[in-house]
Amino acid sequence: MIISVASGKGGTGKTTVATNLALAVGEGIRLLDCDVEEPNAHLFMSPEITETVELTTFVPKIDEELCTGCKKCSEICRFRALAVVAKKVLVFPELCHSCGGCVEVCPEGAISDNSRVLGVMESGSCGPIGFSQGRLRVGEAMSPPLIKAVRDNRNGAENIIIDAPPGTSCPVIAAMKGCDFVLMVTEPTPFGLHDLKLAVEAVKMLGIPRGLVINRADMGNDAVRKYAEEEQLPVLMEIPFDRQIAEAYSNGKTIVEVMPEWAEKFRGLYSRIEHIVHG
């Protein structure tokens, strides 16, 4: 079972839910931190990193002696990563989405493979729990390929928990697509509700079963619960606005470490997800 922990906005508690869920279930779980622009699950899991791999992606390299300036490469590029000026091809690597279309259409064979570094993928373990995370290179905008690489690094594990990026853009879709379940985390505030609605619509388009965790549940109002009822979005857990939980988070500790009784609650959450996925 692959569970993606997502939310419309940042700061709702995705990492809190993902790390506590992984620790509560324990053996057989692999936690993948796909928030590659700002991974922070490691701050709470304290994994032993045993492997670091640099990841690259394709960008075109132009052979100026073979190139005739026909513009076919720039015409096929939807992202304007190639431009032809005075029959010379200019390459903008930061805009390239690595589709390889330019290589296919070049009649002169003037385009070959080059690469740029996306970032690194780190893998290891936290006791019986497998762990992987991506770290996007500073200044790099193309995170989905790195997210996909982290997702592929399952190391044989069948039960995966993904800490997805915030928002509803391409990185989030890359972290959610193909999952068995999306566990959405929100807070009962106007901003939390607004961005939750956006995220729910994105998950609907992917056709993935979903459920909701309300963090800091005893603040704000009931608008989130009313929305969840209208959308038939099951509220699977509520986490209170508790000083002890906030202090634990500030000290880099998880809820299940500081309040062991919560381990059973998170195992119950996992069981409810299993029931929804498998019936």
64-109 placed in CATH 3.30.70.20: yes
Q: What pLDDT, on the 0 to 100 scale, is given for residue 10?
A: 82
Q: What pLDDT, on the 0 to 100 scale, is given for residue 137?
A: 94
Distance CA 97, CA 117 (A): 13
Q: How confident is the model at residue 9 (pLDDT cuts 50, 70, 90)?
A: confident
How far from 62 is each of 66, 76, 140, 190, CA to CA, in Å?
8, 15, 22, 51
Distance CA 105, CA 73 (A): 6
Average pLDDT taken over every residue of the chain: 94
Distance CA 185, CA 180 (A): 16
Instruction: Report yes or no: 83 and 98 within 8 Å, Cβ to Cβ.
Output: no
- For the segment 192-210, the average pLDDT, to the nearest whole number, is 94
- What is the pTM (predicted TM-score) of this model? 0.90
- Please state the φ and ψ torsions of residue 53, each to the nearest 5 degrees: -125, 130
At 132-179, the pLDDT tens digits run 999 999 988 889 999 999 999 988 899 999 999 998 899 999 999 999
Residues of the chain above pLDDT 90, percent: 89
What are the start-end ranges of the H helices in the chain? 14-25, 42-45, 72-76, 101-105, 144-152, 170-176, 190-206, 223-230, 243-250, 255-258, 261-278
Distance CA 276, CA 13 (A): 22
2-55+118-278 CATH: 3.40.50.300
**Domain parsing of the chain, residue ranges:** 2-55+118-278, 64-109
Q: What pLDDT, on the 0 to 100 scale, is given for residue 220?
A: 78
